[in-house]
């Protein structure tokens, strides 16, 4: 039986700048030159207007917690050491939504047992380098009372 591994991002033509930015400690979003909309996940066309002229820009790295859940059991054994962890939906200041995990928090035994985590909480990006070669964006609590 083979040892389970984490799902490592495989950069494509559209996503390579995003993953390079993560390795450099920068969160990048695409901005449409036609309508001005920012988008993330990376793609070849603007999701709002269908424009093809997309530029990469550095995001502030700040956002607002819109939803969260505690994950107590990983999708496979490769994720067991990470759990339990907090899965978050973050609305970036630039507008796009990003699903990620929350760093630097302790998960307790209850269904909502994560101190300081609440809808509307301020978050900031933190990057995690994986031994498999990828660097992924995570978030941590920001603002007053953050750890």
One-character DSSP codes across 66-117: EEEEEE-S-SSGGGGGG-SEEEEEEEETTS-EEEEEE-S--B-SSTT-BTT-
Are 74 and 42 members of one domain?
A: no
86 closest CA partner among 5, 147, 140:
140
Give the model's pLDDT for residue 129.
95
Are 32 and 54 members of one domain?
A: yes
Contact, 20 vs 146, CB < 8 A?
A: no
Are 64 and 47 members of one domain?
A: no
Are 49 and 93 members of one domain?
A: no
Q: Which domain holds residue 26?
A: 13-59
pTM of the model: 0.88
Residue 124 has pLDDT above 80, yes or no: yes
Total domains, the chain: 2
Residue 105 has pLDDT above 90, yes or no: no
> For residue 64, is it within any domain?
yes
Q: In the 8-state DSSP scheme, what is residue 21?
A: H
């Amino acid at each position: 039986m083979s040892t389970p591994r984490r799902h490592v991002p495989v950069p494509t033509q559209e996503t390579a700048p995003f993953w390079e930015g993560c390795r450099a400690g920068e969160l990048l979003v695409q901005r449409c030159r036609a309508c001005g909309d920012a988008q993330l996940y990376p793609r070849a066309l603007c999701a709002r207007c269908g424009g093809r002229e997309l530029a990469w820009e550095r995001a502030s790295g700040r956002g607002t917690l819109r939803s969260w859940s505690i994950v107590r059991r990983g999708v496979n054994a490769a994720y067991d050491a990470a759990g339990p962890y907090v899965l978050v939906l973050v609305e970036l200041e630039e507008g796009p939504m990003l699903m990620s995990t929350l760093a630097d928090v302790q998960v307790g035994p209850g269904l909502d047992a994560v101190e300081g985590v609440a809808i509307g909480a301020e978050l900031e990006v933190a990057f995690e380098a994986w031994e498999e070669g990828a660097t992924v964006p995570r978030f941590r609590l920001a603002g007053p009372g953050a750890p």
